[in-house]
Amino acid sequence: MCGIIGLVAKEEFGVRDELLKGLKRLEYRGYDSSGFATSNGDFVKTVGEINNLLDNVDKTLKARTAIAHTRWATHGGVTEINSHPHFNKEKTLFVVHNGIIENFQKLKEDLELEGYEFISQTDTEVIVHFLDSKIKQGKSVKEALLEFEKTVKGTYAILAINKDEEKIYALKKDSPLALGITKTGFVLGSDIYAFSDKTKKAIFFDDNELAEITAEKYAFFDKEGNEIVKAPKTFEWEEAKEQELDFAHYMIKEIKEQPKTSKRLIESLHTLQKDKLKEFAKLIKDCKKLFFIAAGTSYHASLIGAYLFNNQGIDARTMIASEFENFSLVDKDTLIIPISQSGETMDVVSVLKEIKKAGAKVASIINVPYSTIQRHSDLSIETLAGQEVCVASTKTFTNQLIVLFALAKELGYEMDIEGIPDKIQKTIDENEEKTKEIAKELSQKRDIFILGKGATYPIAREIALKLKEIDYIHASGMMAGELKHGTIALIEDGTPVISLIPKSDLSMDSSTKEVEARGAKTIIISNNGGDFIVPDSDDAEFAVYSTMIGHLLSYYIGVELNLPIDKPRNLAKSVTVK
């Protein structure tokens, strides 16, 4: 889940202003530590956010070739020694890596027999010593990387540079990697965020591809070392420009962008993506078996999708991607619908590679164009939410729901999608001050329960997730009907319980009364009276507006607790490891 970047340019660039500015754009991928190295042999590594690295870099430091890394720790603790880049004993070969080397222990033992000493606890250090060993045996860096590819087990996007050589070597398997083509040279990055402020032209690495990049040219090779031709792609992307941030945090900015981003998507579904929407709906109608696969917030969206499609007589199921292989069977008559913000979620990507072997069709809902999931799909609809900087997904979730609403509408579900943007704005305008008020009370609680039913059950889980990841509060989102089968034993005097009650849902009213009878402090979100009143809608559309309340609550609780809202501890936005 780490972020890597490499720059090679015709003229010298400022390391602080160019390289680390690009790295900063990838900080959502991990922020335990960071570091860089240049072809001049300069390198700096620090623990913590990239700002700590910036504070330790001379503003005058320049280079023509450099690589950098921001880390989400997997192997080894959060220390400066474990930070990337890693290097050989002579400090002439530098490597950054995103992924996991599964057989690193065996590789390490073999290298130790050769006399190599390891100073870190990371799996990545074996890469640089393996390459160094092969180079000292007379192989080129390219040849060493090809041999490494045949030896290693795991996932990786690797950038390597040699001191005094103006060239970057890159190797990719499973972990994402792209090459941005600029007027002054090339930028390598874990995704298009790394360079989308500089260019809209990129080449996307496929698995088992190696590349050599200088300021003047690039060359791609297959796993046998044969040169291959890769054509650049042009992509469109809306930036989240830091200089335009008029809010205290990106999370609240992204919540309040939703009237605009939802409207943009709806217009696209009527125009540019209209044919894709109809083709997507046809795939749903024609399949014999349908599975959603997703993780985290996207999984909650998929639950809404299953609710909607089953409502239209389509047997749709959803499965958390990491458990898909244990509970699901697919064949050539199966349609798989992956949902992902980043389009790089490794749990989802791994499933797609396996189900494609069975001949299943894949139609995805993603936010990032040319992402791995989109490139593994037969058809894809883009949610057009634009760049989402906060680790917690908000505007992407809403747009995922809108895509699912539009598909359900194609299948016969009646809904006024066009009115959603204005109702989102109304929900924010009429409830934001109330969320601030209740957030003060909830910020003092350590346990919160959220109850839902049908279309609101996924939202109960989504709100609970935000309370966990943003506010570090133990929160449980659950089916209201399951309350009496054990969980009600946890209800005490003053325990906060948020009830999601669309219109007059008598069973939800009953469950709310049950917890009140045991002393719970209930907070009701409804379109028919309550603590938070949202616009009139059916149960599915109610999911959008009740989610807005939940996201606002989690945001303002985080403000009350003075927490790092955009960068919660232990998390990263794009989960590219299993």
Residue numbers annotated as active site: 2, 573
> What are the φ and ψ backbone dihedral angles of 175, each rounded to 5 degrees?
-70, 140
Question: DSSP secondary structure string, 326-389?
Answer: HH----TTEEEEEEESSS--HHHHHHHHHHHHTT-EEEEEESSTT-HHHHT-SEEEE-------
Place of tokens 């049950």: 514
Look up residue 421 and give its two tokens: 């943007």
CA neighbor of 232 nearest in space, from 262, 263, 204, 208: 204
Is there a contact between 228 and 222 (Cβ–Cβ < 8 Å)? yes
Sign of CA dihedral 328, 330, 334, 335: positive
Q: How many CA atoms lie within 13 A of 249 on its CB side?
A: 21
Which helix (H) or strand (E) segment holds residue 340: the answer is strand 334-340
Instruction: Give the span between the Cα atoms of 555 and 161, in whole angstroms.
Output: 42
Closest of 364, 234, 187, 221 to residue 292, by C-alpha: 364
Task: Please report which residue ranges of 152-273 form alpha helices under DSSP H.
Answer: 250-256, 258-270
Q: What is the DSSP string of 68-120?
A: EEEE--SSS-S-TTTSSPEE-TTS-EEEEEEEEETTHHHHHHHHHHTT----S
At 569, give phi and psi (nearest 5°).
-60, 145
At residue 180, what is the residue type?
G
In angstroms, the CA 71 to CA 3 distance is 7
C-alpha distances in Å from residue 268, one per residue of 273, 339, 399, 400, 402: 5, 18, 12, 14, 12
Give yes or no for a contact between 366 and 383, defined as CB atoms under 8 angstroms apart.
Answer: yes
Q: Collect all residues with Cβ–Cβ distance below 8 Å to 51 and sequence separation of at least 6.
A: none
Residue 109's DSSP bridge partners are: none
Q: Considering just the CA atoms, what is the radius of gyration of the chain in Å?
A: 25
Burial 309-333 (b: 16+ CB within 10 A, else e): bebbebebebbbbbebeeebebeee
Token digits for 517?
A: 């009878």
**CB atoms closer than 10 angstroms to residue 226:** 8
Distance of CA 520 to the CA centre of its chain: 35
- What is the rounded distance in angstroms from the CA atom of residue 208 to the CA atom of residue 275? 34
Instruction: Give the strand order in the sheet containing 532-533.
Output: 474-479, 447-452, 496-501, 521-526, 532-533
Measured CA to CA in angstroms, residue 21 lies from 6, 15, 72, 339, 429 at distances of 12, 8, 18, 30, 35
